[in-house]
């Protein structure tokens, strides 16, 4: 979190509380992209994400006055967003997700790697692959169940610290670390399979 | 160290927060184990690719969604400023009332035991509040009016420290 963003947030909160006419414009300018994307990554559906974003902004505007300021403004807002989205998911039939277990590394009884391991780390350094890999990472992330997806998006995509993510989701830091690690192991395996198949094809 | 352990310790290893002794052990294993070396390198590459994604990600929001969202929020705010204000005033009134009740109870000695304990330990460390409440007790609870802002904010913090469901006052 940069000092600059912090200051921007403070000023924004202040003007929301005072009801300054530009406050809402500023709120939308700074956050509608982030909130919409966060909602998209949880709900995976544009019209649901749009409605969730409406709810989030109305809640933020209504409650700016009672916001206690013992957490950062943006993390308060992310928390409202996550809660709003999870509430929406609750009533719905679950989206199709993959089982993360199928992508965890496999070991022998002695704890050694059970399958041969390709080193494709040099391969992905080629710039030509950049865009394609970015798309694949997004696709694989979308297939994760929301339990992992939300943690992964907040930490690795939004760049929040484990402590911040823990606070937003109401989980402990060790729980965040463990989910994050499993999500990364999953992603590594998905990329491995993708690159292997690419080569074979 | 075995491969399985290594795989589950990689996070600390890669972000540099690992205990140096453990790190040495892990390095030693890596130098002797080709699959783990490949695993570690590709794990690192995965993290690096994700970071790249973070740097290049644009918070794209489709134009028509953006326009609808802006219109919705603006018109909602325009339409309901009285409602929002009403709500805010209500919140402020409720809070002022609660603070006053608590200050009166503190003066009259009818706080619940948990609240009284919190209040006591706060006053022991806060000359401002202990001065205020001592004076209030001397004057009697019927004299109490809205406390000054400094005291008010301390009382609010105190109320928020109370466990949920805990009552402020004795029945």
Across A54-58, B18-22, B51-55, least confident range: B51-55
Q: Given CB atoms, is B35 within the 8 Å cutoff of chain A?
A: yes
Q: Given CB atoms, is B76 within the 8 Å cutoff of chain A?
A: yes
Q: Considering the entire predicted model, what is its pTM?
A: 0.66
- Say if the Cβ atoms of A191 and B49 lie within 8 Å: yes
- Say if the Cβ atoms of B69 and A121 lie within 8 Å: no
**What pLDDT, on the 0 to 100 scale, is given for residue B73?**
86
**For testing contact with chain A, the best of B33, B45, B60, B82 (most A CBs within 10 A):** B45
Residue of chain B whose alpha carbon sits nearest to that of A39: B61
State the nearest Cα–Cα gap between B2 and chain A, in angstroms: 6
**What pLDDT, on the 0 to 100 scale, is given for residue A70?**
67
A156 secondary structure, DSSP code: I
**What pLDDT, on the 0 to 100 scale, is given for residue B121?**
87
Q: What is the distance between the alpha carbons of residues B124 and B119, in angstroms, rounded to a whole number?
A: 9
Q: Given CB atoms, is A50 within the 8 Å cutoff of chain B?
A: yes
B66-93: pLDDT as tens digits: 889 888 888 877 766 666 677 778 888 8
Phi-psi region of B132 (alpha: psi -120 to 50; beta: other; left: phi over 0): alpha
Q: What is the distance between the alpha carbons of residues B37 and B40, in angstroms, rounded to a whole number?
A: 5
**What pLDDT, on the 0 to 100 scale, is given for residue B115?**
84
B5-16: pLDDT as tens digits: 999 999 889 888
**What pLDDT, on the 0 to 100 scale, is given for residue B34?**
95
Q: Which residues contact A73 (CB under 8 A, 6 or more apart)?
A: A9, A10, A12, A13, A67
**For testing contact with chain B, the best of A53, A115, A155, A182 (most B CBs within 10 A):** A53
pLDDT at B28 over 60: yes
Q: Which chain A positions have a beta carbon within 8 Å of B10's beta carbon? A: 181
Report the percent of chain B where pLDDT is more than 70: 89
**What pLDDT, on the 0 to 100 scale, is given for residue B84?**
67
201 residues of chain A, pLDDT tens digit each? 556 766 778 888 888 887 777 888 889 988 998 899 889 888 878 889 999 999 999 899 888 877 877 678 888 899 999 999 988 887 665 666 788 999 999 999 999 999 889 999 998 888 778 788 888 998 898 888 888 988 998 888 788 899 989 988 889 999 999 999 999 999 999 999 999 887 654
B113-154: pLDDT as tens digits: 888 888 888 899 899 999 998 888 888 767 778 888 888 888
**What pLDDT, on the 0 to 100 scale, is given for residue A46?**
87
Q: What is the distance between the alpha carbons of residues A42 and A148, in angstroms, rounded to a whole number?
A: 10
**What pLDDT, on the 0 to 100 scale, is given for residue B141?**
67
Q: Residues in chain A, how many?
A: 201
State the nearest Cα–Cα gap between A11 and chain B, in angstroms: 19
- Say if the Cβ atoms of B59 and A37 lie within 8 Å: yes
Of A132, A135, A141, A137, the residue nearest A98 (C-alpha): A141
pLDDT at B165 over 70: no
**What pLDDT, on the 0 to 100 scale, is given for residue A53?**
95
Q: Given CB atoms, is B17 within the 8 Å cutoff of chain A?
A: no
Residue of chain B whose alpha carbon sits nearest to that of A112: B3
Q: Given CB atoms, is B47 within the 8 Å cutoff of chain A?
A: yes
Higher pLDDT, B103 or B83: B103
| Residue contacts between A and B (CB atoms, under 8 Å) | 134
- Say if the Cβ atoms of A124 and B49 lie within 8 Å: yes
């Amino acid at each position: 979190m940069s000092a600059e963003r912090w200051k921007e947030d403070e000023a924004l909160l202040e003007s929301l509380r005072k009801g300054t006419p530009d406050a809402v414009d500023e709120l939308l300018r700074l956050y509608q992209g982030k909130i919409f994307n966060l909602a998209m990554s949880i709900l995976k559906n544009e019209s649901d994400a749009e409605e969730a974003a409406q709810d989030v902004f109305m809640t933020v505007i209504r409650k700016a006055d009672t916001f206690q300021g013992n957490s950062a403004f943006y993390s308060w807002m992310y928390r409202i967003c996550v809660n709003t989205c999870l509430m929406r998911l609750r009533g719905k039939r679950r989206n199709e997700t993959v089982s993360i277990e199928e992508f965890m590394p496999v070991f022998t009884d002695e704890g050694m790697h059970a399958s041969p391991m390709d080193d494709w780390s040099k391969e992905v350094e080629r710039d030509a692959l950049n865009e394609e890999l970015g798309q694949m990472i997004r696709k694989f992330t979308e297939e994760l169940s929301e339990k992992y997806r939300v943690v992964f998006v907040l930490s690795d995509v939004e760049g929040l610290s484990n402590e911040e993510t823990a606070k937003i989701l109401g989980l402990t830091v060790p729980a965040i670390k463990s989910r994050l690690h499993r999500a990364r192991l999953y992603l590594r395996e998905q990329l491995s399979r993708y690159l292997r198949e690419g080569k074979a094809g | 160290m075995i491969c399985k352990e290594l795989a589950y310790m990689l996070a600390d290893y890669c972000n540099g927060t690992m205990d140096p002794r453990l790190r040495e052990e892990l390095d030693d294993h890596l130098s002797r184990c080709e699959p783990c070396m490949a695993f570690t390198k590709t794990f690192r590459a995965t993290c690096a690719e994700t970071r790249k994604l973070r740097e290049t990600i644009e918070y794209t929001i489709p134009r028509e969604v953006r326009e609808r969202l802006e219109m919705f929020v603006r018109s909602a705010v325009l339409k309901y400023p009285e409602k929002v204000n009403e709500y805010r005033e209500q919140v402020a009134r409720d809070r002022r009332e609660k603070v006053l009740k608590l200050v009166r109870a503190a003066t009259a000695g009818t706080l619940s035991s948990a609240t009284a304990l919190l209040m006591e330990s706060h006053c022991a460390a806060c000359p401002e509040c202990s001065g205020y409440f001592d004076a209030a007790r001397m004057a009697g609870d019927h004299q109490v009016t809205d406390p000054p802002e400094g005291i008010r904010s301390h009382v609010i913090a105190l109320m928020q420290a109370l466990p949920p469901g805990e009552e402020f006052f004795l029945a």
